[in-house]
Amino acid sequence: MRKSPLLQQVFDYRALPESDRFKQFALKMEAHNLPPIVINIFKYYYSLLLSGSQGKMAEADITPISPDDLKDYLELDAYEAAGRKALPKVAIIKLNGGLGTSMGLETAKSLLAIKAETCFLDVIIEQVERLRERYDIPVPLTLMNSFHTHSDSMLAIEGFDNGRTRVPLAFIQHMYPKIMRDTFLPARWPKNPELEWNPPGHGDLYTAMVTSKTLKRLEESGFEYAFISNSDNLGAVMDLKILGYMASEDLPFLMEVAQRTPADKKGGHLCKVKESGRLALREVAQCPDEELAEFQNIEKYAFFNTNSIWINLKVLEKVFAYHGMMPLDLIANHKTLDPRDPDSPPVIQVETAMGSAISAFHTAAAVRVPRTRFAPVKTSNDLLNVMSDNFILSTDYEIVPNPERNRSPVLVDLDPTFYKKVDDFQDRFPEGVPSLLNCTTFTVRGDVRFKGGVACRGNVLVENRTGHQVVVGPEDLAEENAQLVLE
């Protein structure tokens, strides 16, 4: 097979002169048992940084997507039978590397309870089990864990297996060394060496599938497609219509996208590259600072990536072999070395996004899906909504909007000072979360602990200005559009 000039063959980095800055990175990565191909890929992105690239994607290089460029989910009914036929050939992969540090978690975010004692992983496992029972097909599930989430996650799914498929239950993503912004040398932080490394982003999925031999095992076991999504996206479930569309149209790569709303304006959007005409994903870190307003224009860039993708495994293998890597756009994330210490040295984190692979496939496509297929839990506001009676567990063990709700999605706004961290959140709802089924907006300001049995209706405000914690019960919010201000 003809090789791409994008990436050279794995090189002997020990032969580099001592003056070569990359040699320090290579030896550091080798000491942490990172495979040579990972070191080579990191060198590619490091070389881009040295050449002045910041991984930016300017307005002049892209064009917006129109609805005509996308297939709508509502047009896919005719593909369901094809999806049923293709089901024995598809594997499910969940991105499970996140710790949920923004919510104060120190374990895998997927272990967070969302309904009673049921966590994300419980829901995912049960969905797969029921899918297997319904169709009598051993659909395999594989987790892409990080070094931080692997042990806890594997303990949580103990007893679950992929049976005769021989597909591994998990593989682990790699890690990249942080780069000092002033010297472009490896970051050093002796008091906590773990902080010298960063997750490479979910774009590492493709490399990790290759180095762990997960891709090889999937193909050897007869699987042709993979459905890949975030473990905290409760809406990302197997869909026969989308699978059937993928298989029938012989698509190498299919991305699920949804209509952007003001809440999504900071997230990555879909676009087209002018030069090639191919679809592309632009993340906020890839937007030049002076063009941020246009990036956030949800009328112009109307569709965002849900981070749920469907991929043809054989084509993936060919693309990776041709380039020696999956050609993904560089994301140069500027951070402080210790994310909790704003005075720690500035660093650059090399990252890539899984969705940017859409540009690597000539006939890649995107499908516009309903918002129900994008239900992530990123904040305590999301968590409260999902834990409430606004969502129920269906017979297929899918967490779906409660059909009894007859109004637009509730807008939850909890005071981050007291509710941002999960432990604080749980302390303030010790007897269960309020009913939000008939609630339009639920806003809490100040330190408030809620008794059980609270039912909110309409636009509800609870504001505590006393300076100490107060307790609110059902009788305090009995009226519709209750506005409780405590002074």
Tokens found for residue 31: 């000491």
Secondary structure class of 67 (helix, strand, coil): helix
Secondary structure class of 308 (helix, strand, coil): strand
What is the C-alpha separation between 120 and 114, in angstroms, rounded? 7
Count CB-CB contacts under 10 A for residue 136. 7
Distances (CA, A) of 439 to 72, 208, 447, 448, 481: 31, 44, 21, 18, 9
In whole angstroms, how large is the CA radius of gyration of the chain?
24
Is 286 annotated as belonging to a binding site? Answer: no
Structure-token match 């490896």, residue found: 186
Secondary structure class of 340 (helix, strand, coil): coil
In degrees, rounded to 5, the angle at the alpha carbon of residue 446 between the alpha carbons of residues 445 and 452 is 85
Residue 355 near residue 281 (C-beta atoms within 8 A): yes
Q: Which residues contact 447 (CB under 8 A, 6 or more apart)?
A: 415, 417, 418, 428, 464, 468, 469, 470
Is 85 annotated as belonging to a binding site? Answer: no
**H or E segment and range at residue 455:** strand 455-464
Is 201 annotated as belonging to a binding site? Answer: yes
Residue 286 near residue 332 (C-beta atoms within 8 A): no
Nearest to 114 by CA among 101, 100, 130: 100
Is 109 annotated as belonging to a binding site? Answer: yes
- Written as one letter, the residue type at 306 is T
DSSP 150-198: HHHHHHHTTT---GGG---SEEE---EE-EETTT-SBP--TT-GGGGEE
Structure-token match 């994607």, residue found: 57
DSSP 3-41: PPTTSPPP--GGGS-TT-HHHHHHHHHHHTT--HHHHHH
Is 232 annotated as belonging to a binding site? Answer: yes
Count CB-CB contacts under 10 A for residue 282. 25
DSSP 233: B
Nearest to 350 by CA among 201, 208, 147, 146: 201
Is 43 annotated as belonging to a binding site? Answer: no
Binding site for substrate, residues? Answer: 202
Binding residues: 109, 173, 201-202, 232, 378
Q: Which residues are annotated as a binding site for UTP?
A: 109, 173, 201, 232, 378
